[in-house]
């Protein structure tokens, strides 16, 4: 690559000089606003009231987005924004998982706000450069890059015509371009998307961090909801942030010693216990591939089944022993002792435009193996790694890609679509070649890849309207809700997790609540009220990570040895106290568990009202496809016949003897759908919402969120 | 015997906690186990013999990625 030639071809469109403000107790109280339609760059003060109610991260993103858009704004309108924000605790280096950025935008998949979190160095660098948040609005005429130099205090918008779009190339090119030398590369972080983000609705943002051992820019993804699609639609090629001088006290915290003490205690816990528990340092999130299979929770063949005899071929140890090459723990921000990042070096690609090249593949994570692999009936680790690489570099979400490919494979096998429609692709389960061709078509914007790239929500409508598919059946098997594809867990046998997916703000992503073991295996939350309490506490608790700039994994992917002796082991009380200490240490604001939950509730309810303002967010939008609740087809019923027959006898009072499978499916369905409605009632009640899912004015008042713009929205839906 | 507040169908004389883990294929490594409300340590799983009226709780500590 001729970096100099690329750089010389840049045309400066706008430049902004500023005095980088040092952080004070985790905040600068400044936001960088950039409009790429008219090339405005300006500094905004963060109002004290906003800081108190929205805290940071996702809270800031949602607040800015609300102010930027109207109820009729679509994802590709110039006023839609991409907001990147970290949060007050983000960027500290003494505790694990403290480098997360939260990204917010109106989603091309759901048409409502989406939030997605991501590691990599960009977010902390942005903070250290003087900005609590970055708002990007507008739409450029030609491809541009934005460059933030946090040491010199310069922000530039430049036309960038020659750089590649695919992430593994562009990340390297911009890192090389803006680093003064090899040692300086660690001070560069880049946001990119990829070529398929331009042609699909499932685009991701890649955030880089420079790996000094491998000498390569690694990629972490803000995956869900198509934010990369918004990025490329705005004609942004990349955003670079450069900051030299990372050290442990840049947040200028209130009490450094409490942060140090809490961090040392946690690092010891990791060192002494990780190898006895989840083995995150060695295997990362992939440790649960074979465990999900054992518990009948691994999605197979578009969520029809929960296990497969070939799962052993893609179990975690296969990747670790045969492919991952680092032989040492690996984190995506300084000081993360959990170190769950993993990579495969010198992976030789067999297909696509980079065929024959040796590349670095970040991953695989659990979701990659489950979605790209088992859910599509593919049990070849090398195909999973190749799809993983291409999803990242083309800039598309592995979860949405896996789930939508599984959907089209089932449609193909059942004759809902055929080779004429797929333009020759034989999309049978297990056809790795077809999946790889599909992803390359998405990059090129060609063929059936362009249809599949619309996402399941738009595809299912097309299949009904254009190809005469049976609407009821198709909607039953289409694993999407609010427009977002399901993430990779089978929740048919856990009512609480059906709610964990369905009763969410952004759609069926498991980052609000993962209750399958607690519900299905442990039987700890048997009543509707128990489940509702869990579906209040966990989504609120986990929202808090996104306000502060924290990763969820260090909370419960390791637990203190005496955790089992506590009253509520599932909540990991000692770690909750750690977080309260970190928040206090950075901000000087001492809060308790209740206030922690209320901080989240303020933002969570704001997001719910935002959804309602944009035309979703009511009870009807929380309905889920029956495939997520129970057996749609005869084959699914038969695969768990003993279990389902028993439930009919014991729970429904229906004797299955002598009944047809169809009769049994119908009866079980009526029961399970009724259970979901009852769960919805209980959860809405617990959250302080009407039975139509609307936060009440009383609830908003109680939270101090009775803002006029929120009351105006909810009051229209109170009767 | 009851397992997680459900009737355990495979109880037999001499059944240990480890036997239950094996029968149920509870392969997840982070379990919290209590018998009649008393916490049982991992090193006792193979030797702890369960009685017919025991209330066994085997809780999996996983709340998702």
Q: For residue B50, give how far its alpha carbon lies from the nearest alpha carbon of chain A (Å).
A: 18
Q: Tell whether A294 is within 8 A of chain B (Cβ).
A: yes
* Largest distance between two CA atoms of chain B: 39
Q: Give residue A282's pLDDT.
A: 82
Any idea what the Cα angle at residue A400 is, between residues A316 and A333, rounded to 5°?
A: 60
pLDDT band at A327 (very low <50, low <70, confident <90, very high): low
Alpha helices in A521-572 (DSSP H): 528-548, 553-556
Query: Per the CB < 8 Å rule, is B39 touching A564?
Result: yes
Q: For residue A272, give how far its alpha carbon lies from the nearest alpha carbon of chain B (Å).
A: 15
Average pLDDT estimate for A174-191 = 98
Nearest-CA residue of chain B relative to A366?
B65
Average pLDDT estimate for A375-397 = 98
Q: Is the pLDDT of residue A643 over 90?
A: yes
Q: Give residue B29's pLDDT.
A: 86
Cα Rg of chain A, angstroms: 24
Nearest alpha carbon to residue A447 among A252, A199, A108: A199
Q: Tell whether B62 is within 8 A of chain A (Cβ).
A: yes
What's the DSSP call for residue A132? S
Query: Per the CB < 8 Å rule, is A569 touching B62?
Result: no
Q: Is the pLDDT of residue A326 over 70?
A: no
Tens of pLDDT along A117-130? Answer: 999 999 999 999 99
Partners of residue B26 in chain A, C-beta under 8 Å: 521
Q: Tell whether A3 is within 8 A of chain B (Cβ).
A: no
Q: Give residue A278's pLDDT.
A: 81
Partner residue opposite A277 with nearest CB, options B6, B25, B29: B29
Query: Per the CB < 8 Å rule, is A510 touching B64?
Result: yes
Domain boundary assignment for chain A: 3-242, 278-485, 497-558+591-715
Q: What is the DSSP string of A606-652?
A: HHHHHHHHTT--SGGGG---GGGTS--SHHHHHHTHHHHHHHIIIII
Could you write out the three-class secondary structure of A485-530? ECCCCCCCCCHHHHHHHHCCCCCCCCCCCCCHHHHHHCCCCCCHHH
- Residues 6 or more apart whose CB falls under 8 angstroms from that of A311 comprise A289, A290, A293, A298, A374, A379
Q: For residue B52, give how far its alpha carbon lies from the nearest alpha carbon of chain A (Å).
A: 20
CA distances in angstroms from A297 to A288, A308, A488, A617, listed in the order given: 10, 10, 9, 28
Please state, in angstroms and rounded to a whole number, the distance separating the CA atoms of residues A136 and A133: 10
Partner residue opposite B59 with nearest CB, options A285, A522, A552: A522
Partner residue opposite B5 with nearest CB, options A285, A290, A523: A523
Q: Give residue A560's pLDDT.
A: 93
Please state, in angstroms and rounded to a whole number, the distance separating the CA atoms of residues A192 and A238: 5
Please state, in angstroms and rounded to a whole number, the distance separating the CA atoms of residues A170 and A166: 6
Please state, in angstroms and rounded to a whole number, the distance separating the CA atoms of residues A532 and B17: 31
Half-sphere exposure of A546 (CA within 13 A, CB side): 29
Higher pLDDT, A338 or A483: A483
Average pLDDT estimate for A266-270 = 96
Q: For residue A295, give how far its alpha carbon lies from the nearest alpha carbon of chain B (Å).
A: 8
Partners of residue A290 in chain B, C-beta under 8 Å: 27
Query: Per the CB < 8 Å rule, is B59 touching A285?
Result: no
Q: Tell whether B22 is within 8 A of chain A (Cβ).
A: no
Q: Give residue A121's pLDDT.
A: 96
Query: Per the CB < 8 Å rule, is B65 touching A367?
Result: yes
Task: Assess if CATH 3.40.50.620 describes domain A3-242.
Answer: no
Pick the residue of A366, A564, A573, A642 with the most B CBs within 10 A to test the interface with B by mutation. A564
Helix (H, G, I), strand (E, B) or coil at A354: coil
Half-sphere exposure of A542 (CA within 13 A, CB side): 27
Domain boundary assignment for chain B: 2-60
CA A350 to chain CA centroid, nearest Å: 28
Task: Assess if CATH 1.10.599.10 describes domain A497-558+591-715.
Answer: yes
Tens of pLDDT along A654-666? Answer: 999 999 999 999 9
Average pLDDT estimate for A646-658 = 97
Average pLDDT estimate for A703-717 = 98
Q: Tell whether A516 is within 8 A of chain B (Cβ).
A: yes
Alpha helices in B7-65 (DSSP H): 17-24
Partner residue opposite B60 with nearest CB, options A365, A522, A538: A522
CA distances in angstroms from A545 to A127, A224, A246, listed in the order given: 17, 17, 22
Q: Is the pLDDT of residue A619 over 80?
A: yes
- Which residues are bridge partners to A30 per DSSP? A45
Average pLDDT estimate for A401-413 = 98
In angstroms, the first-to-last Cα distance of chain B is 33
Average pLDDT estimate for A399-406 = 98
Tens of pLDDT along A45-99? Answer: 999 999 999 999 999 999 999 999 999 999 999 999 999 999 999 999 999 999 9
Q: Tell whether A365 is within 8 A of chain B (Cβ).
A: yes
Strands (E), B1-61: 2-3, 6-7, 31-35, 38-39, 55-60
Average pLDDT estimate for A339-368 = 93
Partners of residue A510 in chain B, C-beta under 8 Å: 64-65
Domain boundaries B2-60, CATH class: alpha beta
What topology is assigned to A278-485 in CATH?
1.10.569
Q: Tell whether A564 is within 8 A of chain B (Cβ).
A: yes
Nearest-CA residue of chain B relative to A554?
B65
Q: Is the pLDDT of residue B63 over 70?
A: no
CA distances in angstroms from A444 to A10, A197, A238, A417, A453, listed in the order given: 25, 10, 20, 22, 11
Average pLDDT estimate for A590-606 = 98
């Amino acid at each position: 690559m001729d970096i100099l030639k690329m750089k010389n071809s840049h045309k400066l469109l706008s430049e902004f000089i500023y005095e980088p403000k040092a952080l004070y107790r985790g905040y600068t109280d400044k936001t960088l606003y950039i409009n790429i339609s008219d090339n405005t760059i300006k500094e905004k003060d963060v109002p004290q009231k906003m800081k108190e109610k929205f805290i940071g991260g996702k809270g800031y993103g949602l607040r800015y987005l609300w102010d930027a858009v109207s109820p009729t704004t679509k994802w590709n309108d110039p006023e839609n924004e991409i907001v990147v924000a970290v949060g007050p605790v983000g960027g500290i280096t003494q505790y694990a998982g403290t480098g997360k950025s939260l990204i917010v935008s109106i989603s091309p998949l759901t048409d409502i706000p989406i939030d997605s979190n991501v590691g990599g160095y960009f977010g902390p660098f942005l903070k250290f450069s003087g900005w609590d948040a970055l708002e990007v609005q507008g739409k450029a005429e030609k491809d541009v890059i934005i460059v933030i130099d946090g040491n010199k205090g310069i922000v530039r918008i430049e036309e960038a015509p020659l750089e590649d779009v695919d992430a593994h190339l562009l990340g390297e090119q911009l890192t090389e371009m803006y680093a003064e030398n090899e040692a300086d590369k660690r001070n560069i972080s880049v946001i990119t998307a990829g070529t398929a983000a331009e042609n699909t609705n499932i685009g991701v943002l890649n955030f880089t961090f420079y790996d000094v051992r491998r000498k390569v820019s690694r990629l972490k993804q803000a995956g869900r909801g198509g934010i990369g699609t918004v990025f490329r639609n705005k004609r942004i090629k990349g955003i670079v942030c450069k900051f030299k001088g990372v050290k442990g006290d840049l947040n200028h915290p209130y009490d450094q010693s409490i942060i140090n003490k809490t961090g040392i205690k946690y690092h010891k816990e990791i060192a002494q216990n990780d190898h006895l528990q989840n083995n995150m340092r060695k295997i990362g999130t992939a440790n649960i591939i074979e465990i999900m299979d054992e518990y009948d929770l691994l999605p197979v063949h578009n969520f029809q089944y929960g296990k497969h005899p070939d799962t052993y071929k893609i179990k975690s140890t296969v990747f670790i022993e045969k492919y991952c090459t680092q032989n040492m723990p690996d984190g995506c921000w300084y000081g993360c002792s959990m170190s769950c990042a993993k990579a495969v070096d010198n992976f030789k690609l067999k297909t696509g435009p980079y065929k024959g090249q040796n590349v670095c593949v970040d991953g695989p994570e659990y979701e990659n193996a489950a979605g790209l692999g088992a859910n599509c009936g593919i049990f070849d680790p090398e195909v999973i790694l190749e799809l993983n690489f291409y999803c990242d570099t083309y800039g598309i979400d592995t979860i949405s890609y896996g789930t939508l490919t599984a959907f089209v494979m089932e449609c193909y096998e059942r004759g809902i679509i055929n080779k004429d429609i797929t333009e020759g692709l034989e999309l049978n389960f297990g056809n790795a070649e077809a999946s790889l061709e599909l992803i390359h078509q998405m990059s090129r914007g060609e063929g059936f890849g362009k249809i599949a790239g619309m996402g399941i929500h738009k595809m299912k409508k097309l299949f009904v309207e254009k190809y005469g598919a049976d609407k009821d059946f198709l909607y039953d098997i289409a694993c999407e809700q609010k427009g977002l594809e399901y993430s990779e867990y089978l929740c048919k046998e856990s009512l609480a997790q059906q709610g964990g997916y369905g009763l969410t703000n952004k759609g069926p992503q498991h980052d609000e609540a993962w209750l399958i073991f607690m519900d299905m295996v442990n039987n700890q939350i048997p009543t509707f009220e128990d489940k509702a309490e869990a579906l209040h506490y966990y989504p609120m608790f986990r929202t808090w990570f996104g306000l502060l700039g924290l990763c969820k994994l260090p909370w419960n992917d390791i637990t203190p040895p005496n955790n089992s002796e506590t009253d509520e082991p599932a909540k990991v009380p000692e770690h909750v106290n750690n977080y309260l200490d970190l928040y206090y240490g950075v901000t000087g604001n001492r809060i308790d568990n209740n206030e922690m939950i209320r901080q989240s509730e303020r933002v969570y309810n704001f997001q719910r009202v935002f959804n309602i303002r944009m035309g979703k967010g009511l009870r009807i939008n929380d309905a889920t496809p029956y495939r997520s609740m129970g057996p749609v087809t005869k084959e699914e019923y038969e695969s768990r016949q003993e279990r389902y027959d028993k439930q009919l006898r014991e729970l429904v009072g229906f004797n299955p003897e002598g009944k047809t499978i169809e009769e049994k499916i119908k009866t079980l369905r009526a029961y399970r759908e009724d259970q979901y409605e009852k769960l919805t009632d209980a959860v809405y009640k617990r959250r302080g919402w009407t039975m139509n899912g609307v936060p009440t004015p009383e609830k908003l008042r109680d939270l101090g969120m009775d803002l006029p713009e929120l009351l105006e929205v909810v009051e229209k839906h109170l009767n | 015997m009851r397992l997680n507040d459900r009737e355990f169908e495979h109880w037999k004389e001499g059944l240990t906690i480890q036997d239950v883990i094996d029968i149920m294929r509870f392969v997840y490594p982070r379990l919290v186990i209590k018998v009649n409300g008393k916490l049982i340590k991992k090193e006792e799983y193979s030797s702890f013999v369960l009685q017919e009226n025991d209330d066994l709780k085997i809780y999996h500590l996983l709340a998702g990625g």
